[in-house]
Amino acid sequence: MKNFSEPILLQQVMRSACLFFAAWIVMSVTGCASIGQTKLAAPEKEAKTEIGWWYASFKMNWPHDEEPAWHNDLIIAHRIIAPVLERYKKDIALWRFHRRAVQDEAGHRFSFIFYSTPGTARKVYESIEATALLQEMRNGGIIIKATYDDTGTITKPNIEATSDGHWSQPVQKSWPYFIMGVCQMWLDLFDQFAEDGRQKPSSLDEVEAFYLEIDKNVQETWEKEGGHAYFHHLNAIFGYNPVLIYQKYLLRF
């Protein structure tokens, strides 16, 4: 007589194992779904921020019958701002310079603009104010006034807050990274020309003469090499596509 007990027992074991495995899969899936819902919880409607844009601006003396003394911007950037920036660079996410000279109420103004916490901004402002050369330039009538933002309130928290509002949002948000690199390059040119063996200045008059010469060197470099070193390679990044400029010409660099 045939023995059917062993195949029946084996079938029961296999059936039980399949049921257990199916139940385990269901529990695993529902468990993962639950965890996933926790991780994907909706964020707060308004994310709090403790970082923003800050300005340190310097109004320069500019007689109406003279050209702007552009070289004084270099003195502020290289001798006043650069050492402070080096000290706090790990706490400053983005930064740049802004230069302008128009015969209006603002006049000739040089600005250092940076993205940091209010605490870092206070330290930066205090360090700038403590710079002896700043006081000399004030006393010498080169700088009329230095102004700083109130660090009690963050008025420009968004990364695009200081970009041109006429630009598209993608450009507004990416432009701060581009201009920071440009300003770093500009500063590095000063470093190289300042360390090329020329005699170091001591008095304020010598400092002015020193940076007047460096400004000439920088402008000559821009005129001779800017077209290829900067414009051409920037155009290359964008695949050599033409760009529409104010004169409405399409150019490739």
* Residue 146, domain member (yes or no): yes
72: domain CATH number? 3.30.70.100
pLDDT of residue 125: 98
* Residue 228, domain member (yes or no): no
pLDDT of residue 36: 37
* Residue 189, domain member (yes or no): yes
* Residue 206, domain member (yes or no): no
* Residue 236, domain member (yes or no): no
| Vertex 55: Cα angle to 54 and 60 (nearest 5) | 175
pLDDT of residue 49: 63
Write the CB contacts of 215 (distance below 8 Å, at least 6 apart in sequence).
70, 71, 74
Question: Could you give the number of structural domains in the chain?
Answer: 1
Pairing of strands 143-148, 52-60: antiparallel
pLDDT of residue 31: 41
* Residue 142, domain member (yes or no): yes
* Residue 158, domain member (yes or no): yes
Domain containing residue 162: 48-194
CA distances from 144 to 13, 61, 191, 238 (A): 93, 6, 26, 42
Residue 169, both tokens: 């949002």
Q: Give every residue of the chain whose pLDDT is below 70, as ranges.
A: 1-49
Q: Is the dihedral of CA 57, 100, 249, 240 positive or negative?
A: negative
* pLDDT one-digit tens code per residue, 40-62: 344 444 344 699 999 999 999 99
* Residue 95, domain member (yes or no): yes
